Chains A and B, each alone.
Chain A
């Protein structure tokens, strides 16, 4: 169930959740997004955010981690059953990324992936393009992160026949 041909628009997976601590929010910000409202409680309290909040890229990175780990769990199960595992390629990019609300200290964000479009690639008969909406939702049910992510997924037809479909 992991080759491009096995995928259907509307398929959805809950991939896990993460609770953001003050320490990790500040550590991520020091490394990649050193703005006062991500680094310091007092400065954040004076900002329009009102309290320390995570870099949007920190939320994106946690979402990515949960998707990669969920895929690896799925691949391990397939291998255990002796089934072939489709290769996934690099991502050509992201679009329509939104951070509608901040992620504050102690918020628990649940991440999900839903397939919105499947496209064959004229120049690459061995793979198809899966476009998925990734989301992060906080413990109050509010959307905090949303993005359309593209990923190349191996096609079964070429894999089985050894020739392009």
Chain B
């Protein structure tokens, strides 16, 4: 289990590509971002094969899922206080293969809460052509190994 102490500045994590489908895009949009450009091929001015454009927040949620599966599920994650910046750099369409790369940009123990530390992550997501589609800088909180007796679970 990964704890605060295991994150080192400069370390890079790479994730397997995620293929986004038209069904994924429409399902997210219908629930949370019901704009025609995300729901309807004609409104998105694309062919049916290309499908609609993904909601930006959908791509952020895909990023979250990849990061949770690859890192957070087996960690002392305590959630996040916030995100410094998200940049949507290019549209995402069905069939795109999204590859995520995350660099550790900073680590610092919490002053007010000795049981945890804060880790800054810088994320880059590219499509199948290697074109950047998303950049994000975010802070996450992790339990410290010393404070949790090695169990990784805050008691």
- Which A residues contact B (CB, under 8 angstroms)? 31-35, 37, 46-49, 55-57, 60-62, 64-65, 68-69, 72, 90-100, 102, 147
Contact = CB atoms under 8 A, between A and B. Distances in A.
A34 B57 contact: no
B80 A56 contact: yes
Contacts of A91: 56, 88
A48 B154 CA distance: 7
Interface majority SS on B: helix, strand, loop or mixed? mixed
Interface in B82-108: 82-88, 91
Interface in B23-40: 31-35, 37
A31 B58 CA distance: 11
A64 B53 CA distance: 16
B64 interface: yes
A92 B78 CA distance: 29
Given A49-B79, A61-B57, A35 B72 contact: yes
A32 B83 contact: no
A37 to B, nearest CB: 7
Interface of B: 31-35, 37, 53, 55-57, 60-62, 64-65, 68-69, 72-73, 77-88, 91, 116, 153-155
A53 to B, nearest CB: 8
Given A34-B73, A35-B77, A94-B83, A57 B61 contact: yes
B85 A95 contact: yes
B32 A65 contact: yes
Contacts of A57: 57, 60-61, 64
A90 B88 contact: yes
Contact of A32 (B33, B61, B79): B61
A20 to B, nearest CB: 14
A147 B116 CA distance: 24
A95 B136 CA distance: 9
B64 A55 contact: yes
A31 B56 contact: no
Contact of A95 (B64, B84, B116): B84
B35 A33 contact: no
Contacts of B68: 32-35
B88 A65 contact: no
A47 B55 CA distance: 32
A60 B80 contact: no
Given A32-B61, A93-B87, A93-B88, A62 B79 contact: no
A60 B72 CA distance: 20
Contacts of B88: 90-93
Contacts of A35: 68, 72-73, 77, 79
Nearest to A66: B32
A121 to B, nearest CB: 15
B81 to A, nearest CB: 6
Given A92-B87, A97-B83, 11 more contacts: A33-B68, A34-B68, A49-B79, A55-B64, A60-B60, A61-B32, A65-B32, A90-B37, A91-B56, A97-B86, A99-B82
